[in-house]
Structure 1
Amino acid sequence: MYTPFEIKKDIFYVGVNDRTKYQFENHFLLPKGVAYNSYILKDEKTVLFDTVDISYSDVFLHKIKSVLGDKPIDYLVINHMEPDHSGAIEWLVSKFPDIKIVGNSRTEDMLKGFYGITDNVIVIKDKEELSIGEKTLRFYLTPMVHWPETMITYVPELHAIFSGDAFGAFGALNGGILDTQIDPERYHGEMIRYYASVVGKYGSPVQKALEKLSEIEIEAICSTHGPVWVNRKNIENVLALYDKLSKYEADEGLVIAYGSMYGNTEQLAEIIADSAARHGVKDIVMHNVSKSSESHILRDIFKYKGLIVGSPTYNSKLYPGVESLLSALENRQMKNRIFGYFSVYAWANGAKKELKAFSEKMDFELIGEPFDMKQSLNPEAIEKAWELGRLMAERLLSEKAVYIDN
């Protein structure tokens, strides 16, 4: 039998860890696994917040019973309908046939579409409240963070929010559940990667959600992924991080992302990085798109202001990995980046045309003169690569760079 873990008075953790799944949404790599978080709130009525992936239903049931014994679950609150959280709903209803399911009108539609469930559904509206005894559930609709039905449930008596995917992070929970039990820095990069991969397109809806949350006092953030945040300073940092990311603000630093078939594009990228470093940029991240996963590249682009992309021409177009990355950035409506680009070709320079079209679409500041190189390294291309690195450094540092000759 599992030992119940009480997060805060009357709030119990009943989530599970998935260390088997290779890719989140069958797309984003999970080298550190992922947690599917679910919670029980006890009062005169018992409330379950979200469920877990259906493959963990047996573990889930044991954890629920460790908290409730043979008592029923009165309400299931669905903050998010994505199947990694809603997958066990149909199974749960079979175990607790009298359970009432609480969600908004979009939730109701998805319940029917995904699982054929139409009975015992309570449809709530924005800021509506539901009494469960001494405690109250207040519902804040947060559409498009990151599905149209997403919402956040607040318990004012405990100052706790159940936030769905908002404020979540990749990474399984390695024993510790609360931020006070772990080193929170372990999840900082995985929170940025989660935001960039899953939520990144929806900056404006995130801002609206944060505005709603600014009206309330928060002493616990119970997300459906990653650790539970209860330390006041950590809560402030998490909210500030989401505010920053959703405004597309970033730190002083440079990402150089490139594709390279035979090493020529890569050598130009190395020269650019060398120049930027010698002219004062300390945070430089280089990504070979054939080696780095897209979500890790996106994480760093969300993190840093500077972005330089290089591509060889491939079948008259961009190199496939570069094309995929640029499509992902366009899809996320990325803004406020300082951008440079370069291309390499053997006989026809299709990549340059594609990079130019991307640059003109985006809300980026173009730095330097885009350049190309025919076939392999030559003095002119080396000089232009060095100059692009210098100009990027000067712009990032907002003052004339100082050349450091080692």
Structure 2
Amino acid sequence: MLEIKKNIYWVGVRDWELKRFHGEEFSTHRGSTYNSYLIRDKKIALVDTVWTPFHEEFAEELDREIGLENISLIVINHTEQDHAGSLLYLMEKIPDTPIYCTRNGAAMIKGHFHKDWNFNAVKTGDSVDLGEYKLVFVEMPLLHWPDSMATYVAGANVLLSNDAFGQHYVSSSLYNDQVDQGELFQEAIKYFANILTPFSDLVKKKTAEIKSLNLPIDMIAPSHGIIWRDNPLQIVEKYEQWASGYHEGTVAILYDTMWGATRKMALAIARGLENKGVGAKLFNLGKSDKADVVTEVFKARGVIVGSSTINRSVLSNTAAILEVIKGLKFKGKVGAAFGSYGWSGESPKIIQDRLAEAGIEIIAEPLKMKWDPAPENLKECEAFGEAFADKIR
């Protein structure tokens, strides 16, 4: 138990070994945390739990520190297993404890655990008095599940924001002013890009709503990663920026290759972009981490995707990243396609069509080369990159 404000404690778990999350979808190179918070007042409130594999040590630590029977209520801001996974184990020991969550949250908890506990469904503005402090609930639907909400601790000026404003980032330190800022914001933007991008319009509405409430906020404590105590609203401002067609003016070139021809094309296209002063980042999809690639697409103004043709289609890693890009619903990005082939050559057109389906504006006709590109072919690729740069500049 680590006190973060008077009588408010971090009681979470640091998972240094975590390398993949959401199944195998999300890479967590710097591990993660499962942040649970305990408020010791006239009533004792537990806000969120930790991921299921850690439920025994989590409950045992709480029992040792305060006695589980002394917990007056449990708040579940979000029912995904990394936040509510210890609930079943806890409720076996304290079965009558009231659970505060949204209406959707109650339905989802029942769906996860098949138990009809003492649910108290809340909506924005509802509150619970603890004594010195009061919990005020703020619904945050689809940030990033329909059940999501945040809990504001009135009197302490602490926003317990659950997934919003978090990062998959573990450190021996708890606070944003105690860690490497480059690492922190790299993980924060990766988290936003891979999880919250499809909900950008909702992010803008919700951040505006939070600001309109004029709540004094001294600390934003999410359910993953670092707690924001030094200028905590800086991460809210970042979310507003990231949700508003954010880009850094670069171009992400994503390619997969069988025998190196498509790679040569990618390098030549990058030279063309650089000739015009546009930064390019290249990613071999067969060797690059998917979540890291998505982050760079999020940061880019343009995305150029290439693949060899195989079985009259694209290589499997190219198909996978195109599906991810479509699901994330990027806005304000432009793109193009390229690829090499031996005899049929369908891949560039397939890529272009899938980029267009994903909402990427196509600004160049697809470029394809037969067999291994000759020097004059590579000059054509370079010119392709230059023309793309001219259009986005």
- Which TM-score applies when normalising by structure 1? 0.91
After superposition, the C-alpha distances for 1:214-261 in whole angstroms (9 at most, x for unaligned) are 1233221111111000111xx233112212222332112121110111
Of 186, 190, 197, the match for 2:183: 186
* Counterpart for residue 253 of structure 1: 250
1:200 to 197, 212, 219: 197
Match of 2:32 in 1: 34
Mapping of residues 116-195 of structure 1, within 5 Å? 116-172=114-170, 174-195=171-192
Match of 2:297 in 1: 301
1:169-193, CA deviations, whole angstroms, 9 ceiling, x for partnerless residues? 1122x21011122223212111222
CA displacement, residues 350-395 of structure 1 (integer Å, 9 cap, x when unaligned): 2122122123324333333321111111245312311222133334
Secondary structure of the corresponding residue to residue 361 of structure 2: strand
Q: How much has 1:157 moved relative to structure 2?
A: 1.7
Aligned to 1:25: 22
Match of 1:267 among 264, 268, 289: 264
Which one of 277, 280, 287 corresponds to residue 283 of structure 2? 287
CA contact (8 A) 1:372 1:381 kept: no
State the Cα distance separating 1:132 from its structure 2 match: 1.4
Alignment partner of 1:57: what SS?
helix
After TM superposition, where is structure 1 displaced by more than 6 Å over at least 4 residues in a row? none
Note closer, same or farther for the CA distance 1:367–1:383 as it changes in structure 2 (3 Å cut). Answer: farther
Cα distance 1:336–1:66, how it changes in 2: closer, same or farther (>3 A)? Answer: farther
Q: Which residue of 1 aligns with 2:4?
A: 7
Q: Is the 8 A contact 1:136 1:157 kept in 2?
A: yes
- Work out the CA distance in 1 between the residues paired with 2:182 and 2:97: 38
Q: Say whether the 8 Å CA contact 1:12–1:67 is kept in structure 2.
A: no
Aligned to 2:227: 228
CA contact (8 A) 2:16 2:31 kept: yes
> Do the aligned residues in 1 keep the contact of 2:306 with 2:348 (CA within 8 Å)?
no
Identity across matched positions, percent = 29
- Closer/same/farther in 2, CA of residues 274 and 293 from structure 1, 3 Å limit: same
Q: Which runs of 5+ in 2 are unaligned?
A: none
How many pairs align? Answer: 390
- Aligned partner (choices 73, 76, 86) of residue 74 of structure 2: 76
Mapped contact 2:348–2:368 kept (Cα < 8 A): yes
Deviation at 1:268, TM superposition (A): 0.8
Q: Which runs of 5+ in 1 are unaligned?
A: 399-406
Partners of 2:222 and 2:292 lie apart in 1 by: 22
Q: Distance in 2 between matches of 1:162 and 1:344?
A: 51
2:337 matched to 1:341?
A: yes
2:350 to 347, 354, 360: 354
Q: Given residue 223 of structure 1, which amino acid in structure 2 is its aligned partner?
A: P
How far, CA to CA, are the matches of 2:154 and 2:387 in structure 1?
52
Q: Distance in 2 between matches of 1:16 and 1:171?
A: 12
1:197 CA displacement: 2.0
Matched, 1:315 2:293: no
Q: Which of 368, 371, 385 is equivalent to 2:367?
A: 371
In the TM superposition, what is the alpha-carbon distance from 1:211 to its structure 2 partner? 2.0
Kept in 1, the 8 Å contact 2:124–2:139? The answer is yes
Give yes or no for contact 2:337–2:349 (8 Å, CA) kept in 1: no
Q: Distance in 2 between matches of 1:82 and 1:239?
A: 23
